[in-house]
A and B are shown apart, each in its own frame.
Chain A
Amino acid sequence: MELTLAIAIGVLTGSGVWLVLRPRTYQLVIGLSLLSYAVNLFIFSMGRLRVGAAPLLGADGTGNPSNYADPVPQALVLTAIVIGFATTALLLVVLLVSRGLTGSDHVDGRESR
């Protein structure tokens, strides 16, 4: 499971970085989205990977502290998703405005010669 997750994060990051460095605004948005997926998975993995573990102790205070899923990274991922979603939406609007004002989808507003 660790290997799968690591490869997934790596592929997402690699594609994201490549797309962010491309000159089209659409590629930029997709690249940033892929990067934020990679980062979200990364945050999640920082709470250690566990299968079938409870996030909290039982109601009677019982539970095995050595086998429990850390809830903090999950909360962090949730916050990061919300913030990333909002800022990406904002970037999309700016992208459309830029396309409308400059008539080009190049990040500099004009084609490079």
Chain B
Amino acid sequence: MDWTQHLLVVPILLPLVTGAALLLVDETRHTLKATVSLASMLLLLGVAMKLMGMADGAPGGSGALSSSYAVANWPAPFAIVLVLDRLSALMLALAAVIALASLVFSLARWHRAGPHFHTLFQLLLMGLGGAFLTGDLFNLFVFFEVTLAASYGLLLHGSGVFRVRSGLHYISINLAASLLFLIGVSLIYGVTGTLNMADLAARLPAIPAEDRMLLQAGAAVLGIAFLVKAAMWPLGFWLPSAYMAAAAPIAAIFVVLTKVGVYALLRLSLLLFGSPAGELTGFGGTALLWGGIATLVFATSGVLASQAMGRLAGYSVLISSGTLLAAVGMGDATVVSGALFYLVSSTISTAAFFMLIELVERAREPGADLLAVTLEAYGEEGDGAKEHEDEEVGAAMPGALAVLGICFGCIALLLAGLPPLSGFIAKFAMLTGMLNLDGLGAPSEIPVRTWLLVALVILSGLAALVAMMRTGIRTFWAPLESIVPRVLVVEVAPILALLALCLAMTVGGGAMISYTDAAARSLHDPASYIQGVLGTGMTGSNVR
């Protein structure tokens, strides 16, 4: 066994060990804690990059699975396996990037706002890493719970009435969803007798007809648990207020949490109900598609109606979820490839947005949002205000505000999906897949729901643009007396880095698309996943 195979377990063990070790360090030693946490995070990012390289360089053609790791060296169907393929490597790298950015951001202020910030943060990453890597359904539940338990603590970080209240809602909803998760998993176990995802997929076609309904019920209940996490309408009303209540760096990492639900749906629906599943092929696809469409409608109106920036960002997360769920529901490899690109791009931009909001809001008086919208609604633009604005023309924009304004503009472009940045490429790739433009010259019938989805994806971008422009004008151009916010380099740097990453994704769009294409193709080829997991489990690890 090659030593690189052991890297698969690092994304779980490294944060666990770091988090546990940080518990022992006294709370007052902030510098030491931050250094250890940062070092571990950099190491994790390095490992995630290496894993992504391993996944991409998988032997045996583009469709094959890269590797599976039998924990404790028990063969696959009987014990827990970790599975690495392009999708999980991509999610892992995404989580590591966002986590590093939020951690650096939090070093300015937030990591001192309450006890055990770094430990909770590391444990959150452990849960994320585990959820992305595991090849076992119940193990997925455990890592979901690890992630959630850490997120409960992080949401409450910094305390305050608002955080506690939305924390209470967040915890209750997630506890209820976890119970649904358990019901779904146990129903599936009761019918198939296995929890290993690959083994499950292999056994599904042979399920007798009388048991099929129970299995569908189990899969549907499990799906609802994931959809609560991915915040599909009508299961996602908790999201905007919870994310708004969380401290900025924590809201940024929470953006990845909704993507865990999307990841699980993507993985399981294509693996279990992909092409060879016989009667069960495509189960749940229609529900996901319409659910995604409903989420898009709800989130688009939410974006337009938002007065506070935090809420606007929360609804942007919902737009991203809705688009992704609908794309997963379409179940087409080209659409999924575009959706993966969109997933990365939208996650990075909303995470950067959450961090930017805190910096921008330092420049505003409390209540300014409400006042602005009221003014807009009643058209009460007094002459005095106009004169005052005239006087300000020509005054140099302060440096900090300029940087923040540019960042804000970039994020608006990313969220709206306008050309220069990666948001455009992502949406373009998805729409190309939806309208089946690859087969130009062979016009095929495009169903109404696809047109609806295409229109909504574009409309949601327009709504995001309108809302962002309104907020931007109110924040950067219109304030009567501009307060220059005190912004530290360590706070702007992660935002700039994330935006630079989006720029890099635009420039290197070809390489990225070919990666997501290969990821989508291997997702649509469950046989190679099954063979990869059960094959290596039976032979590879037993050689020694």
A80 within 8 A of B: yes
Asked if B469 CB lies within 8 Å of chain A CBs, one says: no
Chain B CB within 10 Å, residue with most, of A36, A87, A98: A87
Q: Assess the A39–B175 pair: CB atoms within 8 A.
A: no
Mark each residue of chain A from 55 to 86: 1 if its CB lies under 8 Å from any CB of chain B, else 0.
Answer: 00000000000000000110010011001101
Contact check, A25 vs B168: say whether CB atoms are below 8 A apart: yes
Is the C-beta of A91 less than 8 angstroms from some C-beta in chain B?
yes
Interface string of B173-187 (1 = CB under 8 A from A): 001101100110111
- Residues in A with CB closer than 8 Å to B171 are 87, 90-91, 94
Residues of A within 8 Å of B142, CB to CB, are 79, 83
Write the nearest CB–CB distance from B221 to chain A, whole angstroms. 11
B152 within 8 A of A: yes
Residues on A with C-beta less than 8 A from B178 are 83-84, 87
Interface residues in B, total, Cβ within 8 A: 30
Q: Which of the listed residues B148, B149, B171, B175 has the most CB atoms from chain A within 10 Å of its own CB?
A: B175
B189 at the interface (CB under 8 A from A): yes
Interface readout for A96-111 with B: 1 if CB under 8 Å, 0 if not? Answer: 0110011000011100
Measured between beta carbons, the chain B residues less than 8 angstroms from A94 are 152, 156, 164, 167-168, 171
Interface presence of B386 (CB below 8 A): no
Question: For chain B residues 161-203, which have a beta carbon within 8 Å of chain A?
Answer: 161, 164-165, 167-169, 171-172, 175-176, 178-179, 182-183, 185-187, 189-190, 195
Given the complex of chains A and B, what is the CA–CA distance between A95 and B179 in angstroms?
A: 20
Q: For the complex, is B145 an interface residue (Cβ under 8 Å from A)?
A: yes
B243 at the interface (CB under 8 A from A): no
B275-318 contacts to A (CB < 8 Å): none
A45 to B168, alpha carbons, bound, how many Å? 31
A42 touches which of B152, B168, B176, B183 (Cβ 8 Å): B183
CA distance A42 to B138 in the complex (A): 15
Q: Are B176 and A20 in contact (CB under 8 A)?
A: yes
Assess the B175–A32 pair: CB atoms within 8 A.
yes
Chain A residues with CB under 8 A of B145: 83, 87
Q: Is the CB of B190 within 8 A of A76?
A: no
> Which residues on B sit within 8 Å (CB–CB) of A32?
172, 175-176, 179
Determine the distance from Cα of A25 to Cα of B189 in the docked complex, in whole angstroms.
Answer: 33
Q: Please give, as numbers and ranges, the residues of chain A lying within 8 Å of B138 by CB-CB distance.
A: 76, 79
Indicate if the CB atoms of B152 and A90 lie closer than 8 Å: yes
Q: Contact: A87 with B179, CB < 8 Å?
A: no
In contact, A108 and B165 (Cβ under 8 angstroms): yes
Q: Which of A43, A83, A107 contacts B186 (CB 8 A)?
A: A43
Docked complex: B89-104 residues within 8 A CB-CB of A = none
Q: Contacts A39-B183, A42-B186, A83-B145; is A98 near B165 (CB within 8 Å)?
A: yes
Whether A46 contacts B189 by the Cβ 8 Å rule is yes
* B residues near A47, Cβ cutoff 8 Å: 189-190
In A4-50, which residues have CB < 8 Å from any B CB?
Answer: 20, 25, 28, 32, 35-36, 39, 42-43, 46-48
Give the docked Cα–Cα distance between A47 and B191 (Å): 10
Partner of B161 from A28, A42, A109 at Cβ < 8 Å: A109
Number of A-B contacts (CB under 8 A): 88
Contact assessment for A102 and B165 in the assembled complex, using a CB-CB cutoff below 8 Å? yes
Give A20's nearest chain B residue, CB to CB: B176
B183 touches A28 (CB 8 A): no
Q: Which residue on chain B has the smallest CB distance to residue A44?
A: B186
B152 nearest CB neighbor, chain A only: A90
Q: Considering the chains assembled together, what is the distance between the CA atoms of A42 and B185 in angstroms?
A: 11
In the bound complex, residues from chain A placing their C-beta under 8 Å from that of B152 are 87, 90, 94
A39 to B195, CA, bound (A): 17
Contact B179 A39 (CB under 8 A): yes
**Does the CB pair A101–B164 fall under 8 Å?**
yes
A18 to chain B, nearest CB (A): 13
Q: Is the CB of A107 within 8 A of B161?
A: no
Contact B195 A72 (CB under 8 A): yes
Q: Is the CB of B172 within 8 A of A36?
A: no
Whether the pair A102, B161 counts as a contact (CB closer than 8 A) is yes
- List A contacts of B182 (CB < 8 A): 39, 42-43, 76, 80
Best-surrounded residue of B160, B164, B167, B186 (most CB of chain A within 10 A): B186
Q: How far is B167's CA from A25's CA once the two chains are assembled, in angstroms? A: 13
> Which residues of chain B are within 8 angstroms of A108 by Cβ–Cβ distance?
165
- For the complex, give the distance between the alpha carbons of A72 and B168 in Å: 33
- Are A109 and B172 within 8 A (Cβ)? no
User: Taking the nearest CB of chain B, how far is it from the CB of A76, in angstroms?
Assistant: 6
Q: Of all chain B residues, which has the CB nearest A32?
A: B175
Q: Which residue of A has the minimal Cβ distance to B167?
A: A94
Q: Does B179 contact A76, Cβ atoms closer than 8 Å?
A: no
CB distance from B175 to the nearest CB of A (A): 5
The smallest C-beta distance from A45 to any residue of chain B, in angstroms, reads 8
**Interface pair A35/B179, CB less than 8 Å apart:** yes
Please report the C-alpha to C-alpha distance between residue A85 and residue B156 in the assembled complex, in whole angstroms: 19
Least distance between A9 CB and chain B CB atoms (Å): 10
A36 to B169, CA, bound (A): 18
Q: A73 contacts which chain B residues (CB < 8 A)?
A: 186, 189
Besides A32-B172, A94-B152, A94-B168, 9 new A-B residue pairs in contact (Cβ under 8 A), listed by A number: A32-B175, A46-B186, A76-B185, A83-B178, A87-B175, A88-B175, A97-B156, A102-B161, A109-B168
Q: Which residues of B contact A (CB under 8 A)?
A: 138, 142, 145, 148-149, 152-153, 156, 159-161, 164-165, 167-169, 171-172, 175-176, 178-179, 182-183, 185-187, 189-190, 195
6 A-B residue pairings within 8 Å (CB atoms) = A32-B172, A35-B176, A39-B186, A42-B186, A80-B182, A87-B145
Closest CB pairs A-B (n = 7): A46-B190, A43-B186, A46-B186, A109-B165, A83-B145, A98-B164, A39-B179
